[in-house]
């Protein structure tokens, strides 16, 4: 699977490459340019704790759960939109 690596606040994670017109690639550009919910990433960094569990309700394509996966003991993500869920699963598979 072709993938893109995202580097955000010293955290690396991968996003599946699903083509130039796919929402995954749209997201990659926004994150890499610092234009995607920057305050959200600062909040995750502030509350990160390897002894706690993080719940991601409405996980969309998996960007926040992937970002938090090495910052918390466990991360549980919930997504009910079938299109987003497909990308979420692919993006999780793109990571170790």
Give mean pLDDT in consecutive 10-residue pieces for the chain, a chain of 96 residues: 87 89 78 81 96 97 94 98 95 94
C-alpha triplet 42, 45, 48: angle, nearest 5°: 145
Per-residue model confidence as pLDDT tens digits over 6-27: 888 889 999 998 887 887 777 7
**Rounded-to-integer distance, Cα 61 and Cα 93, Å:** 12
| Predicted pLDDT of residue 75 | 98
| Predicted pLDDT of residue 8 | 87
**Rounded-to-integer distance, Cα 80 and Cα 27, Å:** 19
| Predicted pLDDT of residue 65 | 96
**Rounded-to-integer distance, Cα 17 and Cα 46, Å:** 30
**Rounded-to-integer distance, Cα 6 and Cα 63, Å:** 10
């Amino acid at each position: 699977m072709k993938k893109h690596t995202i580097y955000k606040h010293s955290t690396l994670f991968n996003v599946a490459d699903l083509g130039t017109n796919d929402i995954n690639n749209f997201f990659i550009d926004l994150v890499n340019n610092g234009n995607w919910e920057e305050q959200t990433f600062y909040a995750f960094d502030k509350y990160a704790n390897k002894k706690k569990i993080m719940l991601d309700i409405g996980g969309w394509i998996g960007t926040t759960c992937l970002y938090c996966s090495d910052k918390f003991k466990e991360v549980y993500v919930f997504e009910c939109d079938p299109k987003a869920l497909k990308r979420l699963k692919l993006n999780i598979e793109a990571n170790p």
